Amino acid sequence: MDALDAILGRRTYPPVKLGEPGPDTAALELLIRAAAAAPDHGLLRPFRLILVEGEGRRQLGELFARALAEERPETSQAELEKQRTHPLRVPLVLLVVLCLRPRHPKIPEIEQIASAAAATQNLLLAARALGFEAKWATGFPTESPMVAAGLGLGPNERLLAILYIGTPRVPHEGPPRPRPWEICSRWP
């Protein structure tokens, strides 16, 4: 698949439409290399990845549910169960961790955030190019101090993205995209 096909065909796939197989070791290495190819001014490496597969997916779901129950005690049992089982719906979960270098003399935090986001997009596009699909999720787990602690994140780290990756089981069109001139204007 060429780069434009990967970009223009990318859709956010709901995890319920994904399944086995997940990326093998060679595909995982390509995904990680794609993330590392993101722009990175000053070579700060403002992100790192946490690979979650196999039994780790169950443990991640338990962490999500436990944190939600503790931090938001009013949460319904249905929502707790959703958090608990969400990682089990796909063969691979990749966590993108933003690693900020605060007060860098040349590279502001916004550039570091952009670099980590670009790495995340590279992961999505590489997954598609390799025949997989993915969902970039955020929500409660990315804001939770308990999830951050459970993942061993440092004081200048935060969970930026939860990528659910698998093989498409059913087609998914996704929402319509804007026409080019709806999002682009000329200046002056």
- Is residue 126 assigned to a domain? yes
What token pair was written down for 80? 């707790």
Q: What is the pLDDT of residues 37-94, one digit of tens each?
A: 999 999 999 999 999 999 999 999 999 999 999 999 999 999 999 999 999 999 999 9
Q: How far is CA 70 from CA 93, 123, 158, in A?
A: 23, 32, 19
Query: What is the domain range of residue 161?
Result: 3-169
For position 149, which CATH number holds? Answer: 3.40.109.10
- Is residue 138 assigned to a domain? yes
Q: Is the pLDDT of residue 174 over 90?
A: no
Percent of the chain with pLDDT over 90: 90
What token pair was written down for 43? 């070579």
Residue 107 and residue 41 in contact, taking contact as beta carbons nearer than 8 Å: yes
- Is residue 18 assigned to a domain? yes
- Residue 126 — pLDDT band, cuts 50, 70, 90? very high
Instruction: Answer whether the bond into residue 21 is a cis peptide, omega within 30°.
Output: yes
Residue 99 and residue 47 in contact, taking contact as beta carbons nearer than 8 Å: yes
- Is residue 56 assigned to a domain? yes
CA distance 169 to 174: 15
- Is residue 74 assigned to a domain? yes
Query: Would you call 22 helix, strand, or coil by DSSP?
Result: coil
Segment 96-121 shows an average pLDDT of 94
Secondary element (H or E) of residue 139: none
